[in-house]
Structure 1
């Protein structure tokens, strides 16, 4: 069993096509097919079902794929670790971030890192805090930026607090609320646009309203801040955004809240960071360190 055979299997699984997989690796299709067939003979099982219209994994292929990816990742890490002993950082850096991260200027941080370590392949995933914690825990993402309610801490990963801040209400320019500052109780009768119930971006607001004794209606649940803003612009309700993030939308009116929801931004990473991840962590601000 050779690493190149594993790469071919992963490529076919991801593209569902032998031709596209061969193009990805810049080999002729017959060579790729020959290597996969040789691996199947060695394993004593077919990894793919091939028809004239599609290619899909067999049950044996489904079982084999995660291990193949783990082997390739281990080989890449071994090469990166050896290179790091000579002062060269290479390999991959998978970064995750919530869309509303403000404690770090992430585009600039990625630019600076790329210039300093040009042999590292960088990828970025945008997702919710809970999903990012799980991906870092599993090793699919190396480092991630989260936003959590103050009482919550990321579990089973290493973490560092980057800073905290309050949320503000945002409304359409012609909204009937004209005050610049309100109490949460003043918003009791307003429809809200917020993230879906249970996720960290929603919990911080729900807890603040509950503490104020306010029951609010959230008829519009969204999965992204941009979608929230689009609905707010149409006058469909009140949105809640981090105070440091809201200025990105100058066409919306911002209402500061006297008993505002709060959140804390965290940087998290796998307990065994790769050299590429360690180099990225070294570029970022160091504040309060938290236990794993």
Structure 2
């Protein structure tokens, strides 16, 4: 079996698309071809590999174990081709290279800006593409090649000995916030039982913050189900907090930025807040880090170290990112 001579990029795109759509008709629409062409292409791949890749039903197709394995490899290979295409495009436009960075949504905007500025000063021709996603999806983006490095609070340190090279940037704390003028902002001490009857707006359940909030509310509510409005975009969440009197929970760095720079929220003095978790930057061990990856990782580490130093007790008067 000589796959390099027989299996083509066209075959891989077909398998990748069919694995996502699980429908020959929808796969044909995405690839702008006919259903018969999709069926012929799938038969070609199965003939090359001498195995069945999808079980066909009247309405959908379901990948076999062999099909699942090929879908995974196709996604990785196509992700590498996308990176090559992006890098060549950057070179043709006179830019020295491109770096795809996957970011969790709660990372401090101030810190991110400083890291980008620091990297850009050292490599003016570097194009930095920031891609926001949920923690679990960021890891998938890294493995598939859609991202070169990721910054996330997902506990990826457990992978560091094998799949990933991980650096911890800082330990993050999540806090509950309300709009300025909300009655709870006048309280000196708030228990979770006081928050059960409040209306909340939160990111989807894929986020660690949402799961932690729901867990605390359920533990203290007993018979009351928490009322949670769900939104993905931060500006919708902030506006619902500001104009509809809702509560939300945010990473401390992000909450402090919204409080200090935009005067949009106030941190609430909630007793027994969330346990801190590590915010990490990670890359795949199987892919050697290029100059762009090393530069941006070092920029993130430099900014995080300086910021943590500014927040140390002896430098409290020099706080830049958190307010008491």
Structure number with higher strand proportion: 1
Superposed CA RMSD in Å reads 3.9
* Aligned partners of 1:173 and 1:251 also within 8 Å: yes
Aligned to 1:176: 183
Aligned to 1:113: 119
Of 124, 129, 133, 2:135 maps to 129
In the alignment, the residues of structure 1 paired with residue 245 and residue 109 of structure 2 have an alpha-carbon distance, to the nearest angstrom, of 29
* Aligned partners of 1:133 and 1:157 also within 8 Å: no
* Aligned partners of 1:136 and 1:157 also within 8 Å: no
Normalised to the residue count of structure 1, the TM-score between the two structures is: 0.63
Relative to structure 1, the CA distance from residue 283 to residue 109 in structure 2 (aligned partners, 3 Å threshold; closer, same or farther) is same
List per-residue Cα deviations over 1:6-32 (Å, max 9, x = no partner).
Answer: 9xxx9xxxxxxxxxxxxxxxxxxxxxx
Aligned to 2:301: 285
Aligned to 2:283: 269
Q: Which runs of 5+ in 2 are unaligned?
A: 1-8, 14-27, 43-73, 89-94, 306-324
SS at match of 2:268: strand
In the alignment, the residues of structure 2 paired with residue 55 and residue 253 of structure 1 have an alpha-carbon distance, to the nearest angstrom, of 46
Aligned to 1:231: 240
The count of residues paired between Structure 1 and Structure 2 equals 227
SS at match of 1:173: coil
SS at match of 1:112: helix
Of 166, 173, 188, 2:173 maps to 166
**Superposition pairs of residues 61-100 of structure 1, within 5 angstroms:** 70-71=80-81, 73=83, 90-100=96-106
Structure number with higher helix proportion: 2
Relative to structure 1, the CA distance from residue 213 to residue 282 in structure 2 (aligned partners, 3 Å threshold; closer, same or farther) is same
Q: Which has the higher contact order (CA 8 A, sep 6+)?
A: 1
Aligned to 1:82: none
Aligned to 1:45: none
Normalised to the residue count of structure 2, the TM-score between the two structures is: 0.57
Of 199, 207, 214, 1:199 maps to 207
Relative to structure 1, the CA distance from residue 211 to residue 147 in structure 2 (aligned partners, 3 Å threshold; closer, same or farther) is farther
SS at match of 1:220: strand
How far off its partner does 1:77 sit?
Answer: 7.9
List per-residue Cα deviations over 1:179-209 (Å, max 9, x = no partner).
Answer: 1431212212212111222432312323344
Aligned to 2:230: 221
In the alignment, the residues of structure 2 paired with residue 253 and residue 135 of structure 1 have an alpha-carbon distance, to the nearest angstrom, of 34
SS at match of 2:272: coil
Relative to structure 1, the CA distance from residue 75 to residue 194 in structure 2 (aligned partners, 3 Å threshold; closer, same or farther) is closer
* Aligned partners of 1:208 and 1:260 also within 8 Å: no
* Aligned partners of 1:97 and 1:127 also within 8 Å: yes
* Aligned partners of 1:233 and 1:252 also within 8 Å: yes
Of 267, 283, 288, 1:254 maps to 267
In the alignment, the residues of structure 2 paired with residue 203 and residue 228 of structure 1 have an alpha-carbon distance, to the nearest angstrom, of 16
Relative to structure 1, the CA distance from residue 158 to residue 180 in structure 2 (aligned partners, 3 Å threshold; closer, same or farther) is farther
In the alignment, the residues of structure 1 paired with residue 216 and residue 288 of structure 2 have an alpha-carbon distance, to the nearest angstrom, of 36
Q: Which runs of 5+ in 1 are unaligned?
A: 1-5, 11-48, 79-88
Aligned to 2:164: 157
